[in-house]
Amino acid sequence: MRSVRKRWTICTISILLIFYKTKEIARTEEHQEAQPSGDGDSSLSRSMVNNSDKINQKSGSSVFQHSVERWKINSSLVLEIRKNILRFLDAERDISVVKSSFKPGDVIHYVLDRRRTLNISQDLHSLLPEVSPMKNRRFKMCAVVGNSGILLDSGCGKEIDSHEFVIRCNLAPVVEFAADVGTKSDFITMNPSVVQRAFGGFRNESDREKFVHRLSMLNDSVLWIPAFMVKGGEKHVEWVNALILKNKLKVRTAYPSLRLIHAVRGASPEL
């Protein structure tokens, strides 16, 4: 179980980093060339410094604050990383499979457990997007918000919400911590294991209501569920899908393509 969770965590973080880099850095070459020094730091670097300063003021960590103030974006390295990523990854296409990819009853192999298979249910198929939720979407300022607790007492909520696109991890609560983490949510990851860890495996009505309430706060956000990785989480995915359909929630679902997971693992896609 620990091994499975570790792989989930590694893959999710890797995917977020790839998605963040390819979307947030896209089309920045001219901007970077036009600002070679001094004020040439991007709005992203200023945002990171400002956010870190707020945290440091609370924690009193002068050593870390000093290092942050000297932090600069290595523009040439950023572009090199982006080009290497885009050689084998299309974030817009691979962020989610689409409805035309499968039909109900299709059998596919799990990415990390090729001996096991998954049947595409009617509920799952009905929630697949018609087109990629990221199709033709570009953003100048994105924020990736984790749920480790480092933002507690930071007062960064308003600054996070000022970004064009906000990515959050594993359906973390936001309303209770709005002053520190903000409330804007455009893209939210949700590993199937969250159902068990945060919502009691839906053992009773209270757990289900809590989950539905959490999703209802997302409105038109994209809920990103890695459904095709390993055997064991399929029942949780089906429970989530059933609740979304039953309660007619406005959240948009997305399921990462098998090609994306292969790319993150550094393996060649077999599909």
How many CB atoms lie under 10 A from the CB of residue 253?
Answer: 23
d(CA 172, CA 198): 9
Fold of 2-265: sialyltransferase cstii, chain A (3.90.1480)
Which residues, given as ranges, of the chain have pLDDT below 50? 4, 6, 17, 20-67, 267-271
pTM, 2 dp:
0.68
Q: Where are the domains of the chain?
A: 2-265
What is the model's pLDDT at position 139? 87
- Among the listed residues 146, 142, 177, 176, the one whose alpha carbon sits nearest the alpha carbon of residue 162: 142
CA-based torsion, 260, 118, 13, 144: positive or negative: positive
What is the model's pLDDT at position 29? 42
What is the model's pLDDT at position 110? 81
